[in-house]
Amino acid sequence: MTDQTLQAKNFYKEWVHAQGIPIIEEYYIEDVKKIELAWWEQKGGNGAILNLIGTGESNDAYVCEIPPGKSLKPERHIYEEMIFILQGSGATTVWVEGAKKQTFEWQEGSLFAPPLNTWHELHNGRSNEPARFLAVTCAPLAMNLYHNLDFIFSNPFVFSDRYQATSDYFSGTGKIHSGRIWETNFIADVYGLEPPERKERGRGNREFLFELVDNTMAAHISEFAVGRYKKAHRHGPGAHVIILSGKGYSLMWPDGGKKLKFEWKPGTIIVPPEMWWHQHFNIGGDPARYLALRWGSQKYQFQLAQIDELLKDRREGGNQIEYEDEELEIRQQFEEALSGSGIASQMNF
């Protein structure tokens, strides 16, 4: 028997590089609306793949543009996907074999998820400009687990427990749980929502959690007031934080390690690495709001998210640092940044 070296393979990365489009591998993206795209044959539009460092290959993201007045190619796949519309308006058609097609319209700020392995086709409703969207998926896990593209993209199995072609599937009001968790299949405009208060993350903080199409992945919006910042916390990998409004910066650091600072504005994406402490600071004159597309469904819990001790004090073995326990330089740096903008701190409590 001849001794040979076993060749390690990463099926997902091989697929990514075969797409022939830009691949971004950084901690953050300054403005997702301005990244360069290239023709993506599989989609039938222009795109770029985002393999940001903080995902740990547990999930990924991509940006895609639908040409003016055109549609992307229909597709289905054995991985979850959440879609956030960055600009433009249009519609999506969803169907499974043997059932009637359903079409719903979207606009800038809409958030939705094609149910698992349903056929879906996105259409640009404008004839004079492209429509751009951001999608977060768990393709890395699925591809590296099954390492078979036919199984991923040509699988006839219908998840009837996740999708039923009822007339109100994408138009129903959904259900509100505990006053802050919205179980729904379509959100028309995340900018226009009024999230409820959630002071556990810091005074002046508001938060609304979303459960979409019985996915294991989930989303939330968070808003924090002028002159304030959120408590430092940590969790599992893959939370894609997209800034919707405001001006500020975020700190990220491993336990006992160097703090990395990233300034943000609308369109910035940040992905904190697994169990890195991170903290978001509003230094602008308006409330700051972000959308997080992530692991961490409250309904279908998945240990990868590591959210069990999210609000528990670090001193008690949890994953949140209370203001009184944070390093003095964090408050000092924030107040210096506010002073430079002529804004008064509201952290004097």
CA–CA distance, 305 with 6 (Å, rounded to integer): 32
**Residue 212: pLDDT over 90:** yes
Which residues, in sequence order, are CB contacts of 136 under 8 Å at separation 6+? 59, 60, 61, 81, 82, 84, 217, 238, 240, 293, 294
Report the sign of the C-alpha dihedral through residues 29, 69, 79, 8, in that order.
negative
pLDDT digits (tens, 9 = 90+) for 21-66: 999 999 999 999 999 999 999 999 999 999 999 999 999 999 999 9
pLDDT digits (tens, 9 = 90+) for 316-347: 888 999 999 999 999 999 999 999 889 999 99
pLDDT digits (tens, 9 = 90+) for 122-146: 999 999 999 999 999 999 999 999 9
Position 257 scores a pLDDT of 96
**Residue 156: pLDDT over 80:** yes
Burial of 234 (0-12, 13-18, 19+ CB in 10 A): buried
**Residue 302: pLDDT over 90:** no
Mean pLDDT in the chain?
95
Query: How many residues in the chain?
Result: 349
Position 313 scores a pLDDT of 86
Residues 80, 245, 234, 176: what is their CA dihedral angle, to the nearest 10 degrees?
A: -60
Q: What angle do CA 343, 276, 82 make, to 5 degrees?
A: 85
pLDDT category of residue 209 using cuts at 50, 70 and 90: very high
- C-alpha R_g of the chain: 21
* 145 sits in which H/E element: helix 139-146
pTM: 0.96
Q: What's the whole-number mean pLDDT along residues 190-203?
A: 90
Structural domains in the chain plus CATH codes = 11-153 (2.60.120.10), 175-341 (2.60.120.10)
**Residue 349: pLDDT over 70:** no
**Residue 307: pLDDT over 80:** no
Q: What's the whole-number mean pLDDT along residues 56-80?
A: 97
Position 59 scores a pLDDT of 97
**Residue 74: pLDDT over 90:** yes
